[in-house]
Structure 1
Amino acid sequence: MTVQRGFTDGKVGEFGTGIDYFIGLMPEELVDKTDILAVGIDPVSARIFKMLYSQTTLHMNPLLLRPE
């Protein structure tokens, strides 16, 4: 759907990710051209996520708990 709407590269945020399907279902041609930022819900699922999607930038704390 994103490709049909004209997205070809850029930045994508995945906030509150578990082990995730959003990035796993991205078309392969987009994964290499996309800068992905993810914020993990809990440390265990965040570590699994990082093993599955090593090309992403991952923060292992929910955004709600981040200090200002």
Structure 2
Amino acid sequence: MVIRQLADKLVAHARIASQGLRWGHLKRSYDCLTGLSHGASGIGHALLQVACYFGMKGYVIWQCRHGSMR
């Protein structure tokens, strides 16, 4: 279940911020990108696809609570 392991890794590396979830916080990277191809919306979409495929209701609830679906 490599896909599930990678999804869990994305969730583990998420940072909760006042605006929602964030990924990517290297010194020389853009912080909090929001686009579908390189940002939080793309990550959120991928996690929702994984959740639907594997029937992981917890991912959907977690994203709703922490802002990826605002």
Q: TM-score range by the shorter chain?
A: 0.3 to 0.5
Higher-helix-fraction structure:
2
Greater RCO, CA 8 A, separation 6+: 1
